[in-house]
Amino acid sequence: MMAAINSILIARVALGFAVTGMKTTRIVIAGGGFAGLYAAMHFDKRLARRADVEVTLISRENFILFTPMLHEVAAGDLYPGDIVNPLMRPGGILIMDGALAGDKVADPTQRDADTVAVRDAGRLVRDDEKLTSMLVPLGDGLLAAVKLG
């Protein structure tokens, strides 16, 4: 479903708000796979209390898949959900562009696969009680959501 959507998920793993006069070091980790997640966990452990450092993890998906156990899912010994963990924490931001799909999303007669995927993704975000979201009529529609605490 997400293939039709140009989406980026941003999960803030440690927050350091800029305090007036304080220089903030910003660390951006691209990719929420094994390398990215373990880097984020490392920084989180060491830097979470530092107000002058902000670490942001950018990932296309809001999950980490534990690939070494995929064969057990294929064999039917585990459910896919057993080897998947969500990444986003409270305060994490989800951004999806192309959320209007050229105005096709608002037109219920448009039932092609791409439009349905974008419509369903938007509905999932809006209906998720753990998220607060806003659709900005910018470009082809920018859907932004913040994970609540």
Ligand X SMILES: Cc1cc2nc3c(=O)[nH]c(=O)nc-3n(C[C@H](O)[C@H](O)[C@H](O)COP(=O)(O)OP(=O)(O)OC[C@H]3O[C@@H](n4cnc5c(N)ncnc54)[C@H](O)[C@@H]3O)c2cc1C
Instruction: Tell me which residues touch ligand X (CB under 6 A).
Output: 31-36, 58-61, 67-68, 70
| CB closer to ligand X out of 115 and 121 | 121
The Cα 139–Cα 116 span in angstroms is 19
The Cα 5–Cα 148 span in angstroms is 23
| CB closer to ligand X out of 63 and 110 | 63
Return left, alpha or beta for 91; rule: phi > 0 is left, psi -120 to 50 is alpha, else beta. left
Nearest Cα to Cα of residue 88 among 117, 49, 128: 128
| CB closer to ligand X out of 26 and 71 | 71
CA–CA distances in Å: residue 27 to residues 16, 53, 54, 139: 11, 8, 6, 28
The residues near 19 (Cβ < 8 Å, ≥ 6 apart) are: 51, 52
| CB closer to ligand X out of 50 and 60 | 60
Taking CB atoms, the residue at the shortest distance from ligand X is 33
Strand partners, 44: none
| Residue 111: CB minimum distance to ligand X, A | 29
| Residue 23: CB minimum distance to ligand X, A | 27
| Residue 61: CB minimum distance to ligand X, A | 5
| CB closer to ligand X out of 58 and 95 | 58
| Residue 85: CB minimum distance to ligand X, A | 12
| Residue 56: CB minimum distance to ligand X, A | 12
